[in-house]
Structure 1
Amino acid sequence: MNIQIIGTKKCSDTKKAMRFFKERNVSYHFLDLGEKPLSRGELIKIAQKLGGDNLIDTQSKAYKDKGLAWMDYDAVEEVMENNLLLKTPVVRNGNEVTAGIDQKTWTLWIKEGK
């Protein structure tokens, strides 16, 4: 199993994801968006798995401040411009990806040993 957690140190949901895996003795690699943004290629791969609609955190302050609820936009372009729009945590396990808290899927990954 090769778990990567993408988020920020201040994000409570990212902290929950890290705690989830730590409590189950599953090692993970943490990518802090506050220190290093995702590359365009990585973001496109994630968007292809999740779909653009699931890429953006519609509850975030950045989303509301920009008024995206009333606009047509390209999710990848918006996240490239402001990575705080990304719905976190993004958890990758090989080619599989989740966004937000998805303990059901994470538990399945652990049971399958993928």
Structure 2
Amino acid sequence: MNIQIFGTTKCFDTKKAQRYFKERNIKVQFINLKEKSMSKGELTAVMQAVGGVDKLINPKAKDKDTLLLITYIADEDKFEKLLENQQILLTPIVRNGKQATAGYQPDIWKNWK
């Protein structure tokens, strides 16, 4: 397994995800979204794996203005706006090759090979 965790150091669910993989002796690569944003290709792959751009948006994000904007703009514009405003991503985003999840999803991770 080649696990990447995208999140922030202050996110409680990101910490839980890191602990989940550490307890199972699975090596992870942590990418702090405050220091390095996801590339367009990475975000596209994750969006396709989780089932659409709306599944990547954190409804409890602190940036309420951006959250409202992305919620109500045309679907074809949402991805670009999300790419520019990654602070409203639902974290952790966990990738394993072509598979990915947004949010804390241990029920899905346990089935990954």
TM-score range, shorter chain: 0.7 to 0.9
Which amino acid is 1:26 matched to? I
More displaced, 77-86 or 9-18? 77-86
Task: Give RMSD over aligned pairs.
Answer: 1.5
Identity, % of aligned positions: 50
> Could you tell me how far 1:6 is from its partner in structure 2?
0.6
8 Å contact kept, 1:56–1:75 = no
Deviation at 1:53, TM superposition (A): 1.2
SS in 1 for 2:5: strand
Alignment of 1:101-112 (within 5 A): 101-109=104-112
SS of equivalent to 2:41: helix
Question: For residues 70 and 79 of structure 2, what CA distance do their matches in structure 1 show?
Answer: 16
Q: Residues 71, 21 of structure 1: CA spacing in aligned structure 2 closer, same or farther, 3 A cutoff?
A: same
Q: What's the TM-score, normalizing by structure 2?
A: 0.88
Q: Contact (CA 8 Å) 1:55, 1:75: kept in 2 or not?
A: no
TM-score, length-scaled by structure 1? 0.87
Which stretches in structure 2 are left out of the alignment for 5+ residues?
Answer: none
| d(CA) in 1 for partners of 2:93, 2:31 | 10
Question: Which residue matches 1:5?
Answer: 5
- Partner residue in 2 for 1:98: 101
Aligned to 2:89: 86
Q: Aligned letter for 2:81?
A: E
User: What stretches of structure 1 of length at least 5 have no aligned partner?
Assistant: none
SS in 2 for 1:9: coil
CA distance in 1, matches of 2:80, 2:91: 17
Structure 1 residue 28, shift from structure 2 partner:
0.6
